[in-house]
Amino acid sequence: MCGIAGYMGSGDVITTILSLLIELQHRGQESAGIVVATRGGEIHRVVGKGLVVEALNNEKISQLRSVDEIVGGIGHVRYSTSGGYLDSQAQPILVGDENFKMAVAFNGTIANFFSMAKLLGIVDADGDAKVLATFLFRLAKEFGNDVVEALKVLPHYVVGGYSIVVLTSEPRIVVARDPHGFRPLAVLHTGSDFYVASETAALDIVTGHLWRWREVLPGEIISYDGSSLEFTKSPISTPISPCVFEYVYFSRPDSVFNGVSIYVARVRMGEELAKAAPAMGDVVVPVPDSGRAAAIGFSRASGLPLEEGIVVNKYVGRGFIAPPRSREIISRLKYGFIKSVVSGRRVVLIDDSIVRGTTMRSIVRRLREAGASEVHVRVASPPFRYPCFMGIDVASREQLLAWRAMGLDEIARALNADSVGYNTIEGLRKAVGIPLICHACFTGLYPFKGLDADALEKMFIR
Ligand code: SF4
């Protein structure tokens, strides 16, 4: 998972992209970068480590502001799914030769990047971003520097998921979603301004043009050169399989994905959860922020009162997308507990998902320390049992609590909870309300013909 953004138009390119990246900060906190293009075809790049405000500090932004005649740019916030936490993987990635240059930023994972690197003759590939950018550049060269034509055939070579934004030295911005449509992407075109962002909420907030965006369709390619928009579709088609985890956790609740409000889907997940795994309790308490909407749904459907018993420190960051060594510290520092809400009560604790179990174990322990008489954990999605190769950093089953544990009792023991209950796949489907979704991390059914978790793991981990 990462966030991508872009803008071409008559406004302040740098401020617009910075603002979009800040609104997408929840999608990646390890690095951020911006590349701008000038009217004359020069390309300038700044990247850095950490949050947008740290990575793109005043010094770096001043460097960009000294560039004349900027007409457009793209940006990226990174959450690494491949290539570890290497500086060399910070995006956008620059590729090119003396005639044609381009910058590439993407959200997703390329599971077969080692084999793509081999085709390029790269022997020391250290992550998917550089390989994808180099591959796309080579394809564009074959089509006479045409990125649209390159993006049309790219799905033929890729196993994985990507939403992508490319800035060329022409200059032009080209955006695309892979034919499966795993990751979100939306554009907004008003007059001479063209905006792109991973999530619709970023476009609403930054442009002020509420609900004027349009989601990029799976397999669609949109190109803007400052005056005309061009819409194309990759001829490589496949059944769509957007990531259900975008609804469960990744996306902001004020975003829309495939026409479905993330918030509404989460509330419905809570309602379905109350039916699938009811709990005897006195109070429903959400794990903030990601469990909040599902807790509203659970409370409505169960009739149990909803109260805020846990306070989140938003400055600590998202534990799930943090590097492994930081996760335990984050889960300790991130939450405060309201004794008067939980003390002496049977708490029904609602979260969106349990992946590794690190955070949940720590929350249950501290609820007990705050005086909760019982803690019943209820999870708005099914048990997370399989790794993802399309955009989240869970590449090995051994990391997953529900894979290691034999059943609900064992999971409850591992979390020190009185009981644990999960949503069902049917409940999740009903909550999201679109017939075709990817749910491979819950079921192991990957939307790639003939590829199971073992085959994908072999392809991805060398
Ligand atoms: S495996 Fe899970 S996280 Fe990965 S794309 Fe599919 S639904 Fe999303």
* Atom number, ligand 1, closest to the C-alpha of residue 389: 4
Q: Whose CA is nearest to atom 8 of ligand 1?
A: 243
Please determine, for residue 212, whether its predicted confidence score (pLDDT) is greater than 80. yes
pLDDT for 414 beyond 60: yes
Q: Residue 87 has what pLDDT?
A: 67
Query: 221 and 300, same structural domain?
Result: no
How far apart are the C-alpha atoms of 443 and 431, rounded to whole Å? 17
Is 250 among the domain residues? no
Choose one of 205, 240, 275: the last residue of a domain.
240
CA of 252 relative to ligand 1 center, distance in Å = 17
The verdict on residue 246 lying in a domain is no
CA distance 342 to 190: 50
pLDDT of res. 254? 98
Q: What is the pLDDT of residue 462?
A: 61
Of 280, 287, 283, 419, which Cα lies nearest the Cα of 363? 287
For residue 247, is pLDDT > 90? yes
Phi, psi of 206 (to 5 degrees): -75, -40
| Confidence at residue 320, expressed as pLDDT on a 0 to 100 scale | 55
Residue range 63-78: mean pLDDT, rounded: 97
Specify the pLDDT at position 318. Answer: 60
Residues 6+ apart with CB under 8 A from 85: 30, 323
> Is the residue at 429 inside a domain?
yes
When comparing pLDDT for 329 and 444, which is higher?
A: 444
Say yes or no: CB of residue 441 within 6 Å of ligand 1. Answer: yes
Q: Is the CB of 243 under 6 A from ligand 1?
A: yes
d(Cα 251, Cα 256) in Å, to the nearest integer?
Answer: 9
Kind of pairing, strands 160-168 and 101-110? Answer: antiparallel
User: Residue 3 pLDDT more than 60?
Assistant: yes
The verdict on 101 and 230 lying in the same domain is yes
Residues 6+ apart with CB under 8 A from 38: 44, 67, 68, 69, 70, 71, 171
Task: Give the other-Cβ count within 10 Å of 187's Cβ.
Answer: 22
**DSSP string for residues in 97-137:** -SS-EEEEEEEEEETTHHHHHHHHT-S----HHHHHHHHHH
Which residue is listed with tokens 């928009």?
229
- Within a domain: residue 245? no
Distances from the Cα of 175 to the Cαs of 90, 167, 443, in angstroms?
19, 9, 31
How far apart are the CA of 148 and the centre of ligand 1, in A?
27
CA of 458 relative to ligand 1 center, distance in Å: 18
Q: Does residue 224 share a domain with residue 307? A: no
Is the domain of 114 the same as that of 186? yes
Looking from the CA of residue 442, the nearest atom of ligand 1 is 2
Q: What is the mean pLDDT of residues 84-98?
A: 84
Same domain, 38 and 122: yes
- The total of structural domains in the chain comes to 2
Over residues 376-384, mean pLDDT: 97
Cα of 236 vs centre of ligand 1, distance in Å, is 21
Atom of ligand 1 nearest to the CA of 386: 1
Span 151-158, average pLDDT: 97
Give, to the nearest 10 degrees, the angle between helix 358-369 and helix 324-334: 20
- Summarised one tens digit per residue, pLDDT across range 279-302 is 999 999 999 998 999 999 999 999
One domain, residues 71 and 162:
yes
Q: Are residues 212 and 341 in the same domain?
A: no
C-alpha distances (whole Å) from 299 to each of 29, 278, 296, 336, 424 are 32, 11, 5, 22, 18
Q: What is the pLDDT of residue 284?
A: 98
In a domain, 253, yes or no: no
Q: Which residue has its alpha carbon closest to ligand 1 atom 4?
A: 388
pLDDT at 317: 66
Whether the per-residue pLDDT at 321 is higher than 80: the answer is: no
- Residue 160 is predicted with a pLDDT of 95
In a domain, 430, yes or no: yes
User: For the chain, what percent of residues have pLDDT higher than 70?
Assistant: 95
Q: Give the mutation target among 27, 162, 238, 245 for probing the ligand 1 site: most ligand atoms within 8 A of CB.
A: 245
Mean pLDDT of 193-220: 97
Nearest residue to 133 via CA among 69, 63, 76: 76
pLDDT score for 373: 98
| C-beta of 185 in contact with ligand 1 (< 6 A) | no
What residues pair up with 20 in beta bridges, in sequence order?
Answer: none
Q: Alpha-carbon distance 126 to 41, whole Å?
A: 29
Domain of 315?
262-460
Tell me, yes or no, whether 289 and 218 share the same domain. no
Identify the CATH number of the domain in which residue 416 sits.
3.40.50.2020
pLDDT computed for residue 82 by the predictor: 60
- Does the pLDDT of residue 125 top 70, yes or no? yes
Q: Which atom number of ligand 1 is nearest to the Cα of residue 246?
A: 8
Using a 6 Å cutoff on CB, does residue 428 contact ligand 1?
no
How close is the Cα of 184 to the center of ligand 1, in Å? 13
388 is catalytic: no
Residues 323 and 258: beta-carbon distance below 8 Å? no
pLDDT per residue as tens digits for the range 36-51: 999 999 999 999 999 9
Shared domain for 274 and 322, answered yes or no, is: yes
Structure tokens at 314: 């938003």
Tell me if 439 CB under 6 Å of ligand 1.
Answer: yes
% of the chain surpassing 90 pLDDT: 85
For residues 209 and 295, membership in a common domain is answered with no
Q: Cα of 385 to ligand 1 centre, how many Å?
A: 11
The residue written with tokens 């790269």 in the block is 122
Choosing from 243, 320, 389, 394 the residue with most ligand 1 atoms within 8 A of its CB, the one to mutate for a pocket test is 243
Q: Tell me the Cα Rg of the chain.
A: 22
388 close to ligand 1 (CB < 6 Angstrom): yes
Residue 403 belongs to a domain: yes
Q: 458: which residues sit within 8 A by CB, 6+ positions away? A: none
pLDDT, tens digit, for every residue of 420-430? 999 999 999 99
130 and 19 within one domain: yes
User: How far apart (Å, rounded) are the C-alpha atoms in residues 438 and 432?
Assistant: 12
End-to-end CA distance of the chain: 21
What band does 341 get if pLDDT is binned at 50, 70 and 90? Answer: very high
pLDDT at 331 over 90: no
Q: What is the mean pLDDT of residues 160-185?
A: 98
The answer on pLDDT for 272 being more than 70 is yes
pLDDT at 244 over 90: yes
Q: What is the pLDDT of residue 226?
A: 96
220 with 269, same domain: the answer is no
Per the model's pLDDT, the better-predicted residue between 369 and 81 turns out to be 369
> What integer pLDDT is reported at residue 86 of this predicted model?
59
Cross-strand bridge partners of residue 162: 108
Q: Is 224 in the pocket of ligand 1 (CB under 6 A)?
A: no
- For CA atoms 326, 329, 333, 335, the dihedral sign is positive
Q: Which listed residue (2, 243, 438, 441) is catalytic?
A: 2
Would you tell me how many other CB atoms lie within 10 Å of the CB of residue 9?
Answer: 18
Which CATH number is 215's domain given? Answer: 3.60.20.10
- Contacts from 192-195 at CB under 8 Å and sequence distance 24+? 192/9, 192/10, 192/226, 192/227, 193/7, 193/8, 193/9, 193/10, 193/11, 194/6, 194/7, 194/8, 194/9, 194/72, 194/224, 194/229, 195/5, 195/6, 195/7, 195/9, 195/16, 195/20
Q: What is the pLDDT of residue 327?
A: 66
- Is the Cβ atom of 17 under 6 angstroms away from ligand 1? no
Contact 247, 266 (CB under 8 A): yes
pLDDT at 395 over 80: no
The mean per-residue pLDDT over the stretch 269-276 comes to 98
Q: Is the pLDDT of residue 325 over 80?
A: no
Cα 409 to middle of ligand 1, angstroms: 25
Structural domain includes residue 455: yes
pLDDT band for position 35 (cuts 50, 70, 90): very high
